[in-house]
A and B are shown apart, each in its own frame.
Chain A
Amino acid sequence: MTEAFAPAHEVARRIRNGEIAAETVVADALARIAKLDPQVNAFTDVTAERALASARTIDDARTRGEPLGPLAGVPFAAKNLFDIEGLPTRAGSKINRERPPAPRDAVLVERLSAAGGILLGGLNMGEYAYDFTGENAHDGPCRNPHDLKRMAGGSSSGSGAATAAGFVPIALGSDTNGSIRVPGSLCGVFGLKPTYGRLPRTRSFPFCDSLDHLGPLARDVTDLALSYDLMQGPDAEDPACAQRPVEPTMPSLHDGLSGLRIAVAGGYFATDGMPEAEAAVAKVANGLGAKRVLDLKGAAVARAAAFLITNAESSSFHLPRLRAGADDFDPETRDRFLAGALLPAAWYVQAQRARRWFHDEMMRQFAEVDLIVAPATPCPAPLVGQKTLELRGETLPLRPSLGLFTQPISCIGLPVAAVPVQGEALPIGVQLIAPPWREDICLRAAYALQAMGVCRATEPENLN
């Protein structure tokens, strides 16, 4: 493994032990970004001065013998909908660049920084997070480090690509309908979408209040769990944030699979005609010893509900911006926002009722299982610019179809780890879905799969 792909917890250990300086780690990461990111386009802002100053602070603290945090000197980056002090929070848009610079970092950026993490900058994303592709009319498409002709997946495209490319070991993303899990799948990295309400969204730019989640992506499961644990805890400024104490997942990470009742999602989640997804689910199910197939009845309703709730809430939020200048939007998001602004209220209310109904149905299923395995995306990374997808004999529009398997799960806020399986040519992800507030189960299973070698984030072969 090359230095750029070392796990974050290992980098932090070396820095704490004085084997390497934080400034060296950060300078190396910045040099790699300067050299390779023009091909990938993961970063929209690189905060080099801030990063180097923070690294020197860590090194000085070590010299003085002060205790260092669990992420001491570890580079990380954040999707550009997280506030970064001194930068306008663009959220993938052109319009937001006129906003004043953020006066303070987003709360999750602050929490990782407090643990010693060093922010390297803001990451590319689909405009206002309404995206599964990673394409962006203003900043250019974010490309897949495993094949630069292909999509990174969205909307946390830069978060998936920056981790896969070895620019940072940990990145922050957001997931409303699959925007952590889709780029995680296409870029071949691990991602965690925690339970709705777990991590505070304070000082991040919203998309759809009912469904917005924040979470980490990483190349290593220990890093995923560690960063997640460090970000837990309520914050008073996010009304949707549950007032739950920190429930650390690291203590049970190595507990293995013993005692877990694991099933594979069937029915709506069947992968017939999707050979790569089918093979990946089979590998993970085999690794986990999951034989039972569970038909998650109502998943199609949940996906439709998520579509309507997202369309209505986000379009209502952007209505003043649509009135003032619709042509300043990315055309790929603009027309969906315009349509969403016109939806009848009854469709939205029915979607929120159906969401409650599917939640209750799934709670009954979780009386019998602890973890459900499902595909993350129907296929590995499509080509940049591709508009349609062949699924089960039908030609479908690509953009909404990439979220086919992720949308029903985020609709009811369940915690999910997306885990990468290496296919013949490209990686593809699998979802590990647990009951509410049981991120520990998702991460335990993800760690077991990584330890078995079933799931791993591979280094891109041709990125140099």
Chain B
Amino acid sequence: MSGAVDFDPERHLEVMAPTLGLTISEEQKPVVLQFLAIAHNMARIVEAAPLADDKLELAPSFRPGLPGDGL
């Protein structure tokens, strides 16, 4: 996932920004890249959590029939 495989923040930004309709200026780019690198580091920490490979238990819960934007 985030793993030890190459994560190139610049290449990621170049692909993902237009995919999401975002224009990131040259002035903004260096700091955005720094935050992408921090997020990648956080993803590596989270990936190391000893999670069972046969469980998908996400923290948020959704309760049908209770209020929300869709009702």
Contact = CB atoms under 8 A, between A and B. Distances in A.
A385 interface: no
Contacts of B21: 319, 323
A298 B20 contact: no
Interface residues of B, number: 39
A329 to B, nearest CB: 10
A239 B22 contact: no
A351 B32 contact: no
Interface string B33-66: 1111011011101111111000011111001001
A335 B35 contact: yes
A304 B58 contact: no
Contacts of B49: 298, 301, 305, 350, 353-354, 357-358
Counting chain A CB atoms within 10 Å of each CB, the highest count among B13, B28, B46 belongs to B46
A339 interface: yes
Contacts of B60: 209-210, 352
B5 interface: no
Given A301-B49, A353-B56, A307 B24 contact: no
A341 B20 contact: yes
Nearest to A412: B59
Nearest to B19: A342
A305 B48 CA distance: 11
Report whether over half of chain A's contact residues are helix, strand or loop; otherwise say mixed.
helix
A346 B59 contact: no
B32 A356 contact: no
Given A239-B68, A349-B58, A342 B43 contact: no
A231 B47 CA distance: 38
Given A298-B49, A334-B28, A342-B13, A311 B59 contact: no
B46 A308 contact: yes
A357 B68 CA distance: 26
Contacts of B50: 357
A341 B35 CA distance: 11
A335 B39 contact: no
Contacts of B16: 342
Nearest to A209: B60
Contacts of A238: 67
Nearest to A351: B46
A446 to B, nearest CB: 27
A338 B22 contact: yes
A56 interface: no
B4 interface: no
Interface string A338-368: 1111111011011111111111000000000
A205 to B, nearest CB: 15
Interface string A227-246: 00000000011110000000
Contact of A353 (B23, B57, B63): B57
Nearest to B42: A304
B43 A308 contact: yes
A400 interface: yes
Given A347-B2, A356-B59, A339 B35 contact: yes
Contact of A236 (B24, B42, B67): B67
A323 B17 CA distance: 10
A342 B51 contact: no
Contact of B43 (A334, A338, A350, A352): A350
A344 B2 CA distance: 9
Interface in A208-230: 209-210
B38 to A, nearest CB: 7
B45 A338 contact: no
A298 B23 CA distance: 37
A354 B2 CA distance: 14
B54 to A, nearest CB: 12
A300 interface: yes
A331 B7 CA distance: 25
Given A301-B48, A308-B43, A319 B20 contact: yes
Interface of A: 209-210, 236-239, 298, 300-301, 303-305, 307-308, 311, 319, 322-323, 326, 334-336, 338-344, 346-347, 349-359, 400, 412
17 contacts: A236-B67, A239-B63, A239-B66, A303-B45, A308-B43, A326-B23, A326-B28, A335-B31, A335-B32, A339-B39, A342-B16, A347-B1, A347-B2, A350-B2, A350-B51, A351-B43, A353-B49
